[in-house]
Amino acid sequence: MGLAGHLTEIGGLQLQGRPLLLLHGLLGGSFCWRFNIEVLAEKYAVYALDLPGAGLSDAPTETDCSMSTQAGRAFQFIQKLNLEDLTVFGTSWGGAVALLLAAMDVETESRKIRSLVLCSPVNPWSRFGKKRIKFFKSYIGSSLLKMVWPVSRPVHRIALDRVYGDPNRIAAGTLEGYASMIWRPGRVHNTLNMMKNWQADVDLLQRRIGKISIPALLIWGDKDGAVDIRSAEKLRQTIPACQLTIFPGVGHLPFEEVPDQFNECVFEFLGRYK
């Protein structure tokens, strides 16, 4: 199955420099990185994917959209384009995909990934949302989600407000951008498939994460209500050469909420490993 996304040629810029691969979160897509791609592309070759069943990449309802399978697809993408000396970005659900991808890179002795940039990644030590995931995996929960999905538009703004530390920072067009991804054909089934395999993927990550030894930058907002910030320190201790940066007053999407601060932090990190 193909991967949709941006192979950056923004404002006449061609792909140049070391490659960066950007992986979105649950219900996200390459749209999520709209305040980062053009800035990063001034120095790096940026690949922002819409993984199958997410973003603008439609997929049949039965498609396996688990974190582990998506990591495998991203690995195939890297191999096909022969990307070397790569930094992988991942946020939330996509952060777990990035970690599984990095472990896969070690296990296969591919060694194409040089570093990671992770924004509040889903990880084995965060307890937030476990009950919600378990509920929506159940027959009653999945049936309810299928029923309310077509009429859920009024709650989109409420959900968006909750993932920002300061809702006043929500830029014009953000709600509409996310809505365009949420309303894609079969998206509720794709999302339920992600949830169905959630705990198995997290358990797999816990078994494999110790294999990752490349430099990593962890970025968290201290008002993150989606992935427990208390898990950040455990994650930092588990990955050698790992830096943790916390943005005060920021929520779950620092790359959207404070993009200038995020981009500056990333450039500083990447500049250390020329």
In whole angstroms, what is the distance from residue 238 CA to residue 209 CA? 8
Q: Is the pLDDT of residue 137 over 70?
A: yes
- Cβ atoms 95, 122 nearer than 8 A: yes
Cβ-based neighbours of 179, under 8 Å, separated by 6 or more = 153, 156
- Give pLDDT, residue 151: 77
CATH label of the domain that carries residue 230: 3.40.50.1820
pLDDT in tens, 143-185: 888 888 887 888 888 999 999 999 999 999 999 999 999 999 9
For residue 228, the tally of other CB atoms under 10 A from its CB is 17
Count of structural domains, the chain:
1
Q: How confident is the model at residue 135 (pLDDT cuts 50, 70, 90)?
A: confident
pTM, to two decimals: 0.93
- Give pLDDT, residue 15: 67
Range of the domain at 17: 4-271
- Give pLDDT, residue 14: 55
In whole angstroms, what is the distance from residue 34 CA to residue 32 CA? 6
pLDDT in tens, 222-262: 999 999 999 999 999 999 899 999 999 999 999 999 999 99
Q: Is the pLDDT of residue 2 over 80?
A: no
